[in-house]
Amino acid sequence: MTHNARRSALRGFETLAVHAGREDLAALGVHAPPLDLSTTYPLGELDAAVASLDAMAAGGAPTGSPVYARMHSPTVARLEQALAALEGAQAAVAFSSGMAALTATLLAASQAQGGSRRHVVAVRPLYGGTDHLLASGLLGLETSFVSAGCVARAIRPDTALVILETPTNPTLDLVDIEAVASRCGEVPLLVDSTFATPVLQKPLRHGAALVLHSATKFLGGHGDVMAGAIAASEAWVARLRQVRIATGALLHPLAAYLVHRGLPTLPLRVLASQQGATYLAERLAAHPAVARTCHPSLAGADPGGLIGRQMAGPGGVLSFELRGGQPAAANLLRRLRLIQPAVSLGATDTLIQHPAGLTHRLVERAARANSGISEGLLRVSAGLEDPHDLWQDLRQALEA
């Protein structure tokens, strides 16, 4: 049975999570995926090595020797096969971080039509690093920041890409991917699905051309690896591989190995995190010190009915706004005993951070305010601890 045939035979997502990228292990006589740390490879016949390098330079797989690890890593390729399977994509390409993946996509998109497309439409709110990269103009691109309903009016003849994140970071709003895709026309849509993961959401099914993951988060899942990935068509991935070769943003094989190792437990981890976040959101929403709680599970948080249609569940991240603003937020962070104040998310332990002061600090103040990122807002990534213990920690900090 071919690789693709075997992959298509694995119908359940949990089964895919366990077996994707591992289909040939029995034939290799091993049980765990091998880790190849080589930086260079024997060339064999020169003509064959040249042909292999040409194939990789064009965005394809090596036809012979991988030549050099910046061109191709067998360990990274295994992870890419697995991620493509989980997203229902033709292919995937992994990078050294989520921001490296985004940068490569922006560069690849802007080179379409002979490099004449220098405009991006972005739906706020976004991850602060994404917002800052777009707003800074560092890549020579002009960005129009809009709401989801205004995408069509913002598109110009030189628009290279439309970008959105759902659930949004850090306000957990849900954006209708299919509705936005219908407004994009011929312009490709990139969806940052880091919060949802393929366990809860598959943007390609709803009209997105590309799916972005900061694999540092839930995909890695243990707070010990940094990685990024794009899942898309073969044509898009070939262009992204060309950028990756030129810029040197290949994911390190050890990082790829660790992310791949975490995928079998991804469904279990995401669902447990979601359960904890839902429990905390209910209790925070009822606490008098909390002015606003943001989580898609709460009443009125999903007016478009996207849970069940676009998402399989509300996810494991929530945020809440304290009535006392930044001083109250700083005081709560200081008093926590179990929950760890730290940026990032999707780890096995629960993390809490202050977006206005940290992840979204470089977003202009007016844009933060317009996106609902107040000085009293705190974002929580629910881990795998007992939710009752997490709530006891939050409650004592709120009431101290």
- Which residue numbers are catalytic? 70, 127, 192, 217
**Helix residue ranges, H only, the chain:** 3-9, 13-19, 25-28, 46-57, 74-87, 98-110, 112-115, 128-136, 151-154, 177-183, 197-200, 234-247, 253-262, 266-285, 325-335, 365-370, 387-399
Whether the CB-CB separation of 320 and 294 falls below 8 Å is answered with yes
What does the alpha-carbon distance between residue 349 and residue 271 come to, in Å, rounded to a whole number? 14
Q: Which residues pair with 95 in a beta bridge?
A: 228, 250
Query: For helices 325-335 and 387-399, what crossing angle results, to 10°?
Result: 130
CA nearest 206: which of 309, 321, 340, 61?
309
Q: Which residue has the tokens 């910046």?
A: 70
Nearest to 155 by CA among 181, 134, 175, 135: 181
Nearest alpha-carbon partner for 141 in 166, 162, 168, 164: 162
* Identity of the amino acid at 358: L
What is the crossing angle of helices 234-247 and 46-57, to 10°? 110
Nearest partner of 245 among 7, 399, 66, 22, judged by Cα: 66
Q: How far apart are CA 103 and CA 95, in angstroms?
A: 10
